[in-house]
Amino acid sequence: SYFPAKDKGPDRSLGILKDGYNFARKRLQKQHLDVYETKLLGERAALLGGEKGAELFYDNDKMKRGGAMPAFILKTLFGENGIQTMDGNPFEHRKRLFLSLMTPEALDRLFQITVEHWERASEVWEKKRKVVLYNEMLTLLMKVSCEWAGVPLKDKEVKKRADDFALMIDGFGSIGPKHLQSRKARQRSEQWFENLILDVREGKLEAQEGTAIFEMAMHRDLNGKHLDARMAAIELLNIVRPTVAVSKFITFGALAMEEFPGEKEKVAGSEDYLYYFAQEVRRFYPFVPYLPARTKKEFAWQGYNFSEGQLVLIDVYGNNHDPRIWEEPETFNPERFRNWNGGLFDLIPQGGGDYEKNHRCPGEWSTLEILKASFQYMAQHLEYKLPKQDLSYSLNKMPALPKDGFIMKSVKKK
Ligand code: HEM
């Protein structure tokens, strides 16, 4: 018997860099497994996949986040000691703060702000010979995100700040100089936000109740204390940074409207279809590859013995393409969401499980608002041609993106 299934021999850290989004899938799905052992970063790591694997990953009796995320990611992408690394009651208290920002009014406002910025940006693009959509989205969403969060951003600051955000979002996994740049970008961004948090607390900067900047500045922990200003800055970045990262899904969605005939017309024509399309973009295209946790205790599961403190990775991309979960997973088919039952462990591009008890992304609703506003605008109001370019993306390169960033020419508003 090949249970428990595992890689024998050397550490596979280089393998995961080489195989990217396919690393876990290759091991799990080929044998229809939910757990597979490998060696990563010098540790025995358990790869989890399938709906059952995801359910185990989000079982708080068995898994924790403390000590799971590698330092090189915390020092670039996420920030140290932020919500991603918390467990138990302090986690649930902090999580309610994030979820409280996602009211229907706040989400409507986000949709409106996004449309306004598309209007303005496309006027500028009309005057240019060509534009790179991904780059344009980074600055557009930087403006959207700051406006929504209550963060003041001067026009002449946008480029510099957006460049730092791009470094955090795209540079975290790189090696050498780019990794160091990514760390510096995080330090600069944290400092920027820390000063703003202090300004709000001292009444030097006006902030509206319900905005992220206000709520982060005024939040009290379980001991009734304000967050340390740097911590509040890190959590404010945890709102503004991923909102900018929605740029990737927009770029992939633009690609889908190009790659798959008829999609653009259907997106333009129906609000229901618009939503299915946004969901399918989140399922189909590669973004987050894996998420880490650690076991709280020793236990056996599906014939595999987990040890205490063991590193565990859930195969995020793999689940979104698992043939046991999705019919013809490699076909781009928004219609599959017409009758989707909203399972907690099937569509997991932004994590799974419960919003309040688990680390599932509190930004799923805001992501969908931005995507709907953007795809609708593109499909209904934007005409453009595509010059010769490389639209391909590789599953071997994390994070993934169409090679040339989706170049558009002869842009016209209609
Ligand atoms: C958590 C993905 C957009 C805020 C997460 C997680 C993933 C994710 C995979 C971790 C889930 C887990 O650990 O179990 C994404 C992707 C996005 C996106 C692919 C698209 C760009 C957003 C947006 C926001 C946001 C727009 C804010 C408005 C957060 C926060 C967490 C989180 C604060 C930590 C939650 C926690 O630890 O409980 N996201 N997200 N994300 N996301 Fe997102």
* Spacing, Cα 363 to ligand 1 middle (Å): 6
pLDDT at 2 over 60: no
50 φ/ψ sector (left φ>0, alpha ψ -120 to 50, else beta): left
Strand order in the sheet with 35-40: 35-40, 43-48, 311-315, 290-295, 63-64
Ligand 1 centroid vs 361 CA: distance in angstroms? 4
Q: Does the beta carbon of 150 lie inside 6 Å of ligand 1?
A: no
Between CA 64 and CA 368, with CA 361 as vertex, the angle to 5 degrees is 165
CB 143, CB 153: distance < 8 Å: yes
Q: What's the mean pLDDT when you consider all of the chain? A: 96
Label the pairing between strands 299-301 and 407-413. Answer: unpaired
Question: How far is it, in rounded angstroms, from Cα 161 to Cα 151?
Answer: 12
Give the tens place of pLDDT for each residue, 261-317: 999 999 999 999 999 999 999 999 999 999 999 999 999 999 999 999 999 999 999
Mind listing the pLDDT tens digit for each residue in 146-161?
Answer: 999 999 999 999 999 9
Pocket test for ligand 1, best of 317, 361, 370 (most atoms within 8 A of CB): 361
pLDDT tens column, 331-377: 999 999 999 999 999 999 999 999 999 999 999 999 999 999 999 99
**Which pLDDT belongs to residue 395?**
97
Atom index in ligand 1 nearest the CA of residue 245 equals 21
Question: Is the C-beta atom of 139 inside 6 A of ligand 1?
Answer: no
In this model, does residue 211 exceed pLDDT 90? yes
Sorted by where each begins, the domain ranges of the chain are: 13-413
Q: Vertex 13, ends 10 and 17: CA angle to 5°?
A: 135
Give percent of the chain with pLDDT exceeding 70: 99
Q: Is the distance from the beta carbon of residue 83 to the nearest atom of ligand 1 less than 6 Å? A: yes
- The answer to whether the CB of 367 falls within 8 A of the CB of 350 is yes
The dihedral formed by the CA atoms of 375, 381, 383 and 384, expressed in degrees to the nearest 10: -40
> What pLDDT score does 3 carry?
67
pLDDT band at 1 (very low <50, low <70, confident <90, very high): very low
Measured from the CB, is residue 243 less than 6 Å from ligand 1? Answer: yes
Q: Is the pLDDT of residue 175 over 90?
A: no
The 10s digit of each residue's pLDDT in 223-273 is 999 999 999 999 999 999 999 999 999 999 999 999 999 999 999 999 999
CA of 196 to the centre of ligand 1 (A): 23
pLDDT at 243: 98
**pLDDT at residue 171, as a whole number:** 85
Q: Is the dihedral angle over the CA atoms 344, 347, 352, 355 positive or is it negative?
A: negative
Find the 413 Cα to ligand 1 centroid distance in Å: 32
Average pLDDT over residues 76-85: 95
The pLDDT value given to residue 253: 98
The predicted model gives 379-402 an average pLDDT of 97
Q: Tell me, what's the pLDDT at 172?
A: 81
- Residue-wise pLDDT for 37-60, tens only, equals 999 989 999 999 999 999 999 999
CATH architecture of 13-413: Orthogonal Bundle (1.10)
Distances (CA, A) of 19 to 7, 14, 35, 373: 15, 9, 18, 34
The span from the CA of 4 to the CA of 27, in Å, is 12
Tokens at 196, concatenated: 């703003």
Residue 188 has pLDDT above 90, yes or no: yes
